[in-house]
Structure 1
Amino acid sequence: MADIVALLLPFFGLILIGYLAARVTKQPAEALGWMNTFIIYAALPALFFKLVSRTPIEDLARIDFIVADIAATYLVYGVLFGFIYFARKASFADATIQSFAGAYGNIGYMGPGLALLAFGEAAAVPVALIVCFENAMHFIVAPAMMAVAGGDRRPPLQLAGEVLRKVALHPFILSTALGFIVAASGAEIPLAGQRLVDYLAQAAAPCALFAMGVTLALRPLNRVPVEIGYLVVAKLILLPATVYVVLSLTGDFDPVWVYSAVLLAGLPTATNVFVISQQYGVWQERASATVLITTVLSVVTLPLLLYLITTGMLPPDLFP
């Protein structure tokens, strides 16, 4: 357990430093803009490109892994949506955002750094695939659901075109696709280019975690939403458990791939959920509170999850 604490302490320490820096300096939210731009358009894409481009192409062709991971995620999403919409009588738009809060983890900012620290370079490919394909699905599902809810009144063709543009041109997806091309072709990147990619990739996790801490500080917790009880259980317990079971049922995957997927599923609610809620003017304050509360509680749940993995209490295949 001491090793796990030593692993997670600097990780959450960076979030805490960002949080304290925002509280002390009292910079406006706009001051974070260029750092977020660097993270999203330079550092994280460089990390994904580096991870994918240096991986044998046969390891990148595990469509069964991606399908299983996304199926597990949207199984939880669907169950949550049904419960919130039918049992709790929430509006279609509210149920959409709440379901994302329970099924959309902070895989972009927190995932790569934590998985690579926990499992080493072997976690690189599953992490890159999960981040890119899950984000692509979220970019598609969120506007589609809000269009059905009436929160997006653009013509269907315009909406579909905008969704396709966001998916095709997102930096994470472009960098991963470029990494696929390099891996498949066996092309050699010049040394200067490799060094530039390495420098940017090394900055990805520290900058992302610091920015996350700042973001949490800029969204104070005014009240605890009543929905937080079932959303915490869904996000921090049900989702990783579902991913684990579905991957075990689907195929014989490398243990590091399974553990990486389970770890990413156990991450707190993504800040993008708050961004989506702001975009459509739905469930905004409670979305912000959910991001903050699940992040704080993950300080407890993530060490427990890593303990189960590292001690062998969670076997890599539930149905060998």
Structure 2
Amino acid sequence: MRWTNYFLHPGDNRYYVFTFREEEHAERFGLALEKDGIPFERNEKEFGVPRTHFTEALRHNHLLHADIRKPFIENKGLRWTMLIVTGAMLLLAIVGAFSSKAYAQQMDSKFGWELAVQGRVSMPFEIAGVESHIISNDTLTATWDPLVSQSFGVRINNRLRESWTIGTGIMWIKRNYRVVFDYSNEGLSTPLNTSDTINILRSMSYRIPIVAETRVNLGKGFFVTAAGGVGIEFSPSDSFVNDYTEGINDDPNNPPRDYEAYLGRLNDLAAFPIMAELGIEKQPKGIDPGYYLGVFWSRSITDDYWTEAKWDSSKEQISGETIRGSFASTMAGIEVRILLK
């Protein structure tokens, strides 16, 4: 699996290959190599560089990508929104902490701001709607299988009454997928059926939840809690992974082939998932933190991700295929929180 735009030449290990998706970027890389006197061979947007000059070529590759790469969060409004929300939460947490210490002995009310640090593990539970997404045409089928994913974040709640809170926060979410490419073409002189896999494609997003929670007292500081709400979720960038199978040129049943998978947001601004949570918590007492263990479920109100799968072979008479689709992302799993007062 290629995580970079350079790799060892599969047919001649004396060379490294650098690849570019944009013609302009390839031109700039070629000019940099020429200016520095680095020998290379070029085929459109691919460059073959001798291993003896790999370090110098890699330096130019890094300099080029440092110049052309987009900001981590490209949308300026989203960057400022994230900074403002994060700063506001930190400010509220600090003010709440100092206020609690300053007035703890004077205030009769037990209500106020509560802070929690949370971690989640999302499982591919089909029964909860976390299932494979399949797109296909006459010859190519791409299956996106959800894998175990992780989330981390901070939650701030305002306890309005003994049994009710309203809260928000921010979460960092990493989704993982396996993509399987099944190509079947019975129209060739020798029918071709292949199956290739990209073992992992990672996608990252941020979510701001708006949640209302109620709880039932079980005694001795334990509560059963249930919560529901909506979220505002945005992704800083699209995800892309490519791979290849060397195959054998003279073997009609196993030709050389390349395949790519893309995953991105349908809406440039944000997606809006609905959320549900159920668990048991032990409330904090004094300086001792509490904890929460529960389950969660969320699903986007509409389709929020687009997918694209590409398959191609260098062998003659085999045409490449590109298929596209979209789906509403669903997450379900286990959540753990550390509760701070």
For the aligned pair, the TM-score class normalised by the smaller chain equals under 0.3
Bigger Cα Rg: 2
Please give the TM-score of this superposition, normalised by the length of structure 2: 0.23
**Higher relative CO (CA 8 A, sep ≥ 6), structure 1 or 2?**
1
Which structure dedicates a bigger proportion of its chain to strand? Answer: 2
Which structure dedicates a bigger proportion of its chain to helix? Answer: 1
Please give the TM-score of this superposition, normalised by the length of structure 1: 0.24
